[in-house]
Amino acid sequence: MRAEFAKLQLSPEQTSVVDPLIRTARERIGPTGERRTFAPAVVFGEVDYPSFNAREPEKDIARAEFRCGVVSAKAARKIRKVLQEEAPQHPSDSPAPHITAHRVVAVDFETYFDKDYDVAKLGYHAYVHDPRFNAYLVALWSDDGWHWVGHPKDAPWAEINGAVWLSHNAQFDRAVFFRLQELGIVPAGIAPIDWHCTAALAVYLAAPRALAGAARELVGVPIDKSTRAKARGDDGQSLFGQSPEMLAYALKDAEACCRIWMEHGDKWPTSERRLSAQTIHIGERGIQIDAAYVSASIERLEQARSNAAAQIPWARYAPPTSPKELAKACHAVGITPPTSTAEDSTEFDEWQETHGARFPWIAAMQTFRRANRKLKILQAALIRCRAGHEMTFSLKYFGGFTGRWSGGSGLNLQNLNKEKDFDVDIRRMLIPRPGQVFVICDLAQIEPRCLAYLSGNWPLLERIAAGESIYEAHARATMGWSGGPLKKENPRLYGLGKARVLGLGYQCAAEKFVTVARIMGGIEITLAEAEKTVTDFRRSNPLITGLWAKLEREFVARHGQTYFLKLPSGRYLRYFAVDAETMTAANERGGTRFAFYGGKLVENYIQATARDVFAEGLLRVEDAGYRILFHVHDEVIVEVPENEAEVVRADIERVMSHCPDWLEGCPLGAEAIVANHYLK
């Protein structure tokens, strides 16, 4: 069993305060036998928490990073007691010391893949159940330095049974492991006591998700992924598949995974670990799909795509969406081609609206794109189905900088089309299992409510708490409305108020607000009207503009350093290497630099807060015993027995409306419906 250690990232001044405490801790604990000593190690450098308070160092020692390894239960209690006495933990972003009485082992599988067969195309379940599936290596690395690499059939599984397992992208390694057990390659009964994902830990710490980047930024270990590239198309039976280079590569991945956990696992709060595990389990459980509806929809979309292609001149010899052929056709008729034909390009949409009526092949190209996108989603759903038409999938924990989830592994449930097009409603394919119904619950206007709370707009919050719509409350407070129910008496003003609330809180400019008003408010306005509206909003909402200015000042003040933006939950957003002259920073360690300004910082601040509110709600729903099928943005979908639907609907609304202690006084709201298929 390896030695315990406490590791602090401190400046020399901080070390002078902390060192005596560590010495005291070591003296109090004393030797515990079997090479168990409490040996401090000090690394001088930047503290990965906000600035140290030199005037009250005893209180700020909580911001140091204590890490303790595997110890006996008795020694663990002693260490915890000493650290709690001498250096109380930061109440939010520094969870309890990283102490476990269980062995920790990184588990990393290497499997066959090629250009046509990989997880991105198939998803985890279909990948491991495909006839081509072949897990030909597994690397194991323990926190005590023990390691092993070889074929899974020869692995010493009994040696790590009951340990804490780690994997970098645990959903993949779990899928491989469980399939190997089904095939009898791994003995039945082998299981970890817990299985953590270090990729999830890495993104929580604002490091890259991929192992190479995470290892580089978090533990300073370079990993060369060219070996993995060489293994493409290798079934593990070749000389390369079992070569010293491949074995060493697999072991290094496992070692890096283990080091990331041992050096940084203590910074990952228990609640976030639960959310990571919940995210994996949701995807593994899967969702029922209406296979008959999906098959009929695929037929309709294939026909629509074929009809559209027939109207595109170059579709006979080139892809219908070919940018090169599109440019040729545009030049031939004297129009400027769009600079982008991406599916999410607003420029292409505007270009198509301008020229589509004159040239039918432009409209046909747009039709082809719409049909093709829906067709790919339905085909991906079918591929991911197991017996009984249950579709497995994956969500990405911390898929975005603010902590929100995103889609993963080739199927994005976070971005399913709302519109019914070609008589196909994509969301309609997701249905409850027999005898069950969906309860779909959405947090009501969570972002504008958080913005009002964090900017200190108490009069507006009081109106909302009294039952008034936030859009109407805003119109009465800042737009001069004094009549009756706004939505009924003046729908256009209601739409404008909704667009203002949803679109202008983050410093949106007039040009963009024209589009925001159309999409979010359902109204058409001119640029002149947008300019007037933006000016009026900023004049009449000094608390919001004051928050823009406050965060921008804080950002600028951290020039050349990391700006830590603390959220109400206690979590931090990190902006690395701030450049106050260009107003840029990286929001990922070693990552790309982005431009920031007051409104953008506030957008991050509010969206991250809303995410934390929603995340707590997810854990409460789970604790209440409900089965979460999936979630989209601020909406959670649970599956319940049909005869309990109304009772559960009311209870889910209550659970999701509960305000966290750290946001006390913010009037949260939730709205739930019962449905026989997914809908918005």
Query: Model confidence over 237-254: pLDDT tens digits?
Result: 664 567 888 899 999 999
pLDDT of residue 240: 55
pTM value is 0.82
Q: For 412-417, what is the mean pLDDT?
A: 83
Asked if residue 350 lies in contact with residue 362, where contact means CB atoms within 8 angstroms, the answer is no
Q: Are 102 and 116 in contact (CB under 8 A)?
A: no
**pLDDT tens column, 401-411:** 999 999 876 78
Mean predicted lDDT score pLDDT of the chain: 84
Q: What is the pLDDT of residue 346?
A: 73
Q: What is the mean pLDDT of residues 461-467?
A: 93
Residue among 118, 164, 119, 120 nearest 140 (CA): 164
Q: What is the pLDDT of residue 459?
A: 94
Write phi, then psi, for 366 (nearest 5 degrees): -65, -40
The more confidently predicted of residues 108 and 340 is 108
Q: Which helix (H) or strand (E) holds 414?
A: none
Q: By mean pLDDT, which of 119-133, 335-349, 417-431, 623-637 is the weakest?
A: 335-349
Tens digit of pLDDT for each residue in 181-197?
999 999 999 999 999 99
Average pLDDT of the segment spanning 121-145: 94
Q: Within the chain, what is the greatest distance between any pair of CA atoms?
A: 86
Dihedral over Cα of 50, 52, 56, 62: its sign = positive
Whether 340 has a pLDDT exceeding 90, the answer reads no
Does residue 76 register a pLDDT over 60?
no
Q: How far is the C-alpha of 314 from the C-alpha of 538, rounded, in Å?
A: 50
Percentage of the chain modeled with pLDDT above 70: 83
Domains defined along the chain, listed by start: 4-100 (3.30.429), 104-268 (3.30.420.10), 300-388 (no CATH), 394-457+541-680 (3.30.70.370), 463-540 (no CATH)
Nearest to 186 by CA among 242, 256, 138: 138
Q: How much of the chain, in percent, has pLDDT values that exceed 90?
A: 71
Task: Tell me how far CA of residue 181 lies from CA of 157, 196, 406, 670, in angstroms.
Answer: 11, 19, 30, 42
Q: Of the ranges 239-243, 326-330, 572-576, which one carries the lowest mean pLDDT score?
A: 239-243
Instruction: Report the range out of 21-30, 52-61, 255-264 with the highest average pLDDT.
Output: 255-264
Q: Residue 618 — pLDDT band, cuts 50, 70, 90? A: very high
Distance of CA 600 to CAs 30, 91, 506, Å? 51, 27, 6
C-alpha dihedral sign at 334, 335, 338, 341 = negative
User: In this structure, are residues 120 and 227 in contact, taking their beta carbons and an 8 Å threshold?
Assistant: no
Radius of gyration of the CA atoms of the chain, in A: 28
Count the residues in the chain: 680
For the cut 60, the answer to whether the pLDDT of residue 668 exceeds it is: yes
